[in-house]
Amino acid sequence: MTTRRGLLLLALLAALQPHAYARGVTPYLPLNLDPEVEREVERVLILGGKPVMTRPIPAAVVLDALPKACEVDAVLCGRVRRALKQYMQDTAVEFTSVAGAITNGAKTVMPNQLGETAQSPFQVAGAAYIQPSAYALVNVGGVAYQGRERATGSLISLGFDWAQLDLGFRDHWWSPMTDSAMLISTEAPTMPSVTVSNYDPLTRLGLQYEVFAARMSYSDKIELTNGNLTRGYPK
Tens of pLDDT along 70-112? Answer: 999 999 999 999 999 888 899 999 999 999 988 776 788 888 8
pLDDT tens string 163-180: 999 999 999 999 888 777
pLDDT reported for residue 222: 79
Give a yes or no: residue 5 inside a domain: no
Q: Considering Cα of 51, then 168, then 182, then 33, what sign does the dihedral take? A: negative
pTM of the complete model: 0.83
Bin 232: left if φ > 0, else alpha if -120 < ψ < 50, else beta. left
What proportion of the chain, given as a percentage, has pLDDT over 90? 56
The torsion of the CA quartet 223, 227, 230, 235, rounded to 10 degrees, works out to -40
pLDDT greater at residue 162 or residue 12: 162
Cα separation of 94 and 98, whole Å?
14
If pLDDT is split at 50, 70 and 90, which confidence band does 224 have?
Answer: confident
Residue 71 lies in a domain: yes
Residue 153, in any domain of the structure: yes
- Please indicate, yes or no, if residue 94 is contained in any of the structural domains: yes
Exposed/middle/buried for residue 142 (C-beta within 10 Å: 0-12, 13-18, 19+)? middle
The pLDDT of 128-152, averaged and rounded, is 95
Which residues have a Cβ under 8 Å from the Cβ of 230 and sit 6 or more positions away? 222, 224
Q: What is the pLDDT of residue 210?
A: 96
105: left (phi over 0), alpha (psi -120 to 50) or beta: left
pLDDT digit string, tens, across residues 116-132 = 888 888 999 999 999 99
Mean pLDDT of the chain: 87
194 part of a folded domain: yes
> Whose CA is closest to 144, among 97, 107, 105?
97
CA dist., res. 206 & res. 195, Å (int): 20
pLDDT of residue 180: 78
- How many domains is the chain built from? 1
Contact between 68 and 44 (Cβ < 8 Å): no
pLDDT over 70 percentage in the chain: 91
Domain that holds residue 32: 14-232
Lowest mean pLDDT among 155-159, 210-214, 223-227: 223-227
Q: Rounded to an integer, what distance in angstroms lies between the CA atom of residue 192 and that of residue 62?
A: 26
C-beta separation of 62 from 52 below 8 A: no
pLDDT at position 178 is: 78
- Tens digit of pLDDT for each residue in 8-66? 555 555 544 544 567 999 999 998 888 899 999 999 999 999 988 899 999 999 999 99
Residue 215 lies in a domain: yes
Indicate whether 177 belongs to any domain.
yes
